[in-house]
A and B are shown apart, each in its own frame.
Chain A
Amino acid sequence: AAGVIQSPRHLIKEKRETATLKCYPIPRHDTVYWYQQGPGQDPQFLISFYEKMQSDKGSIPDRFSAQQFSDYHSELNMSSLELGDSALYFCASSLAVRGGGETQYFGPGTRLLVL
């Protein structure tokens, strides 16, 4: 079965640079989520989109922005990168159900290293 696709899988950037992470949800899924997992930590929710509209927002820095496109793929744009942004970034997708709470399926993650 098709899974969530994330690109790139690994990314190395310098401080103050910009990075763009891409996420392609499971076919027919209409909701995408972004999570950040620091070393030795649990995943922290950043932001989600349902039908191309922002659905929920977590502790996402103002330096980060994201959107969901008409084909349901999503991009997370990160500017003015800091050392503390080094982490594993997960995208997850789901098929919306009435009332919410749908199961989220995770991609393999993008490992970002900021030097």
Chain B
Amino acid sequence: AQTVTQSQPEMSVQEAETVTLSCTYDTSENNYYLFWYKQPPSRQMILVIRQEAYKQQNATENRFSVNFQKAAKSFSLKISDSQLGDTAMYFCAFIRIYNQGGKLIFGQGTELSVKP
């Protein structure tokens, strides 16, 4: 079975600074994808970034980037130039690649507060 662990229940950062959210996962699979989703106070689940396990290059999306360490089973999210709108719960998620319609397995989440 796969598990996803986010060991930081809460974090805070000053506006315009950089923050890194941690995520580790456990799997015996070799083919999988990893995601970060954010859930602002509206409770909408919004895709932030995606990483294919077969790719060595870390994914980036504007101010968001990941540090993917496959051997260590680590997948951290770095948010640069933090903005007030980044305040949200952030979930790390894992999906095994085996067929269509596979399930996402989420971590417990990290509540990020961006302070002015």
Contact = CB atoms under 8 A, between A and B. Distances in A.
Contact of B102 (A35, A42, A49, A56): A56
A50 B108 contact: no
A92 B106 CA distance: 14
A108 interface: yes
A108 B42 CA distance: 8
B101 A100 contact: yes
Interface residues of A, number: 30
B109 A101 contact: no
A33 B104 CA distance: 10
Contact of B91 (A31, A42, A50, A109): A42
A67 interface: no
Given A42-B106, A42-B108, A43-B91, A31 B43 contact: no
Q: In this complex, which of B44, B97, B100, B106 has the most chain A Cβ atoms within 10 angstroms of its Cβ? A: B100
Chain B's interface size range is 20 to 34
B45 A106 contact: yes
B84 interface: no
B98 A48 contact: no
A58 B103 contact: yes
Contacts of B98: 99-100
B56 interface: no
Interface of B: 31-33, 35, 37, 42-47, 50, 52, 91, 95-109
27 contacts: A31-B100, A33-B103, A33-B104, A35-B104, A42-B108, A43-B104, A44-B106, A45-B103, A48-B101, A48-B102, A56-B99, A58-B103, A99-B97, A100-B95, A100-B100, A100-B101, A101-B33, A101-B95, A101-B97, A102-B100, A103-B33, A103-B35, A104-B104, A106-B44, A106-B45, A108-B43, A108-B44
Given A56-B101, A101-B32, 19 more contacts: A33-B103, A33-B104, A43-B91, A43-B106, A45-B104, A45-B105, A49-B101, A50-B101, A100-B98, A100-B100, A100-B102, A101-B33, A101-B96, A102-B100, A103-B47, A108-B42, A108-B44, A109-B44, A109-B45
